[in-house]
Structure 1
């Protein structure tokens, strides 16, 4: 059985990748939707490689295995693959958001394109933050906006609607958030949709304007979306 350790490990990893990418939307917890075909191809390639390796490996290839501790170490590597296959980790949440200092947008102060007609206007949390902190045209003034994200909070009770912004995969996630006022905070990590109006704060383009503030009118609890991340 030991001679199949390597192929078995490849098979587990390939099956785990296929499980999260081919049979549902779990892959969206880790990467952007456009990378799905590459995950499927990688998982299929690993499974095929495992089966081919097992079929071609000669029966005597396990000689002297009793003298090798490396085979036991190799079997330990199956644990992470089994965990991914059986218990996929959840999407990043408030813990990941709190580890990162407040992210500043790369742009300077300037005018932004006009918002669409009609209220409330749906914005990503990152879009709202950019307009609130950097828009010299004050395009948010007098508008009702709708933001969706999960709840994070400070020790003093201040709470935020928060999203993690992912360019490629969860490893490059950064944080966007908006402070919510005039509403009771749901439990941390609860997903909510908040409608409200922009509350001007601080000097435009300065650290005092961060994080942006929203005066809430409604706060509605929602299920976690299939894709929990925003694109930059």
Structure 2
């Protein structure tokens, strides 16, 4: 079991990263062997930071908290496949570094998918099952030039239990969410959208009322900050 979370705002804010780190620290029950975040900087380029440590320690040592951004995603890891390491921590990237995925669950058929993609030239650097997902999306995006279709095709290839979120340099104003098995809750008002594996860490952070949506099984949601 792992934990995923994210924040989207209509405007750039230096509170986005601190708020995300607070949520991740409150998801420590879902994993403390790796923490990572991904966000878009003021130039709309994706930035990834991760470490094989628990979220509270990651937050305490993180020195870029005042960065202005309006989209950020994060992950806490409890390993099931793959050793504890910085690279196996999420977000995980494709070959180009343009697609980042945070994933909760197990991809049971990751080994044959990994072998297939390796033969096609994909470069895998870690040992975690989740790494096949950004590479699958990359493979189908290169063929379709349609990010939503690439995710849908990737999901059809995977066996197991999973929930994940994706951001990319191709669409820096969007966050894609997919729930196959594990819960994912979205809280939204006119200015901000939050999502998390659990509602409680969001309730601990937020003081006002939000519209609440629980993703249904096999639902793909596309969040935008516009």
TM range (shorter): under 0.3
Q: TM-score, normalised by structure 2?
A: 0.21
- Who wins on radius of gyration, i.e. which is larger? 1
- The structure richer in strand per residue is 2
Q: TM-score, normalised by structure 1?
A: 0.20
- The structure richer in helix per residue is 1
Which protein has greater RCO, CA pairs closer than 8 Å, 6+ apart?
Answer: 2
